[in-house]
Chains A and B, each alone.
Chain A
């Protein structure tokens, strides 16, 4: 037993390489945190002053946006953003859930796989391409409607909504499908055994059980819709007025790139202010998202 090795370290502590790598990985992990802190900080630093100057109430609830006259009311944009997003979600939700049911429960496996691939593709199409398609295909269609109703033809809220519907559909479909698939098969079997039909078991048992997942899909879709800028710019007409379904609208997101190039001074500050308002809205939605996800998690564990 004379050849037995000692386990006492030649050098003290962990080796240098080990410690360096540990530190490096920690720094990588902290990058995300640092980015969020800096983003929050600089959104407030950049957007705060104009809101303080105009006054919170006049900025958020002011109805006139006229930078040349130093009128910075973003209420029409907030309402338009909410209208476009809300409308898009209202249309996309039933469609998305029905497609999710089809993919998860009714379609044969191979067909479902092919369709899923196509829908994945839909999610990857750049927003500017959607904008282009909307401007070329959708807006002219709505022109006909506007002409028939003797309204001036222009980009409009309806077009913005429909483009957003297509953009958030993949999200809602895939999240809902995952949620529906996660429902234990026994639930449905139990319903079938009690004599309900296939569809009854799906709509009365599976969908209610997948509710929290579907809600997560809605919130995720809402986040995506409210943050979309480029596709909407190309179809929405972009007048900063209170929204009507067939009239031009301007959302919070679209105001920034539209006026960016020719803004300076207070005007640019006001765009930062819009950015801050949007940032706050997105953060609120994300918080809701996290809460619903947690509830969903509780269900999955159970």
Chain B
């Protein structure tokens, strides 16, 4: 009988552990809170912003005399900015990643390039603005212009493109390289026919992330590309790029801060959120799975 008493049984009544339960509750509450807040914010922006969006809103410029608002110029500016920045940064970023992954043999050089890339990705956008202004606008005499914005953005997204490309290049099996080199392919041939096609998806992911960054950017562009977007785009592309102009994000700031026109600001915010969601879905689609 005494033996029976001292033996532990695993089927005891569940021990109450108040601390444990509390901790579970806290984790759950915080998680639901964060997620709920995110969902709320996104829905709130859409509800506040979508009523402001109309065909006229999207296709005209602001008219102070008629007191109408329109964001067509900043849509065009944003598109130009994205397009030209990609034209500069994609070759540089992809090329740099190829150099690091396929050519570089000197460890110190690799270290220097990787250090530089990390540093660039850690610098806040307002400092890109200051540098871009001092260097591109003043020193290179580009003035406050879209082209100065393009050059500044190109440096900002360079680390994103380099990192994503490098990651996909690393994922290309070494045996493909051996196979091609073993048949007498030159390095450039190997890159052209195998490595680039294999890493296309990853490069596209980098491009999409970069577009997200450019569309979101405001601080740097406010300084180097300027604020006003009142005028309709000029016919001449070169002329358009050499003038100042605001992208959607900068325009949002302008409406909210200097005008206190929150309705328009939310309209732009809703458009930005829709773009962000679209880009996000696109990267997920590219990753080949809608749910991770």
**Direct chain A–B contact by Cβ atoms under 8 Å:** yes
How far is B244's CA from A105's CA once the two chains are assembled, in angstroms? 50
Q: Is A205 an interface residue (CB 8 A)?
A: no
Contact check, B262 vs A282: say whether CB atoms are below 8 A apart: no
Please determine whether B273 and A102 come into contact, CB atoms closer than 8 angstroms.
no
Considering only residues 77-129 of chain B, those with a C-beta below 8 Å from chain A are: 91-96, 98-100, 102-104, 109, 112-113, 115-120, 122-127, 129
B206 vs chain A, min Cβ distance (A): 14
Is the beta-carbon distance between A101 and B27 smaller than 8 angstroms?
Answer: yes
Of B93, B191, B253, which is within 8 A of A131 by CB?
Answer: B253
Contact among A46, A102, A253, A278 for B31, CB-based, below 8 A: A102
Chain A contact-residue range equals 35 or more
Which of the segments A54-62, A186-194, A228-236 contacts the partner chain?
A228-236
Check B123–A39 contact: CB distance below 8 A: yes
Whether A233 and B188, one on each chain, are in contact in the complex, defined by CB atoms closer than 8 angstroms, is no
A199 pairs with B269, CB closer than 8 A: no
B277 within 8 A of A: yes
Contact for A106 among B27, B96, B191, B252, CB less than 8 A: B27
Q: Is B141 an interface residue (CB 8 A)?
A: no
- A residues near B (Cβ < 8 Å) are 15, 17-18, 21-22, 24-33, 35-36, 38-39, 42-43, 45-46, 94-95, 98-99, 101-103, 106-107, 110, 113-122, 124-129, 131-133, 135-137, 166, 169, 173, 197, 199-200, 203, 223-224, 226-230, 233-234, 253, 256-257, 260-261, 271-272, 275, 278-279, 282-283, 285-286, 289-290
List chain B positions with a Cβ less than 8 A from chain A. 17, 20, 23-24, 26-28, 30-31, 33-35, 37-39, 41-42, 44-45, 48, 91-96, 98-100, 102-104, 109, 112-113, 115-120, 122-127, 129-131, 134-135, 139, 155, 158-159, 162, 186-188, 191, 212, 215-219, 222-223, 227, 249-250, 252-253, 256-257, 262, 265-266, 269, 272-273, 276-277, 279-280, 284, 291-292
A to B CB contacts below 8 Å, 21 in the list: A22-B187, A25-B98, A32-B96, A36-B120, A38-B131, A46-B134, A94-B30, A117-B291, A117-B292, A118-B38, A124-B280, A128-B269, A129-B273, A133-B44, A173-B34, A197-B17, A224-B124, A227-B126, A253-B124, A253-B126, A271-B130
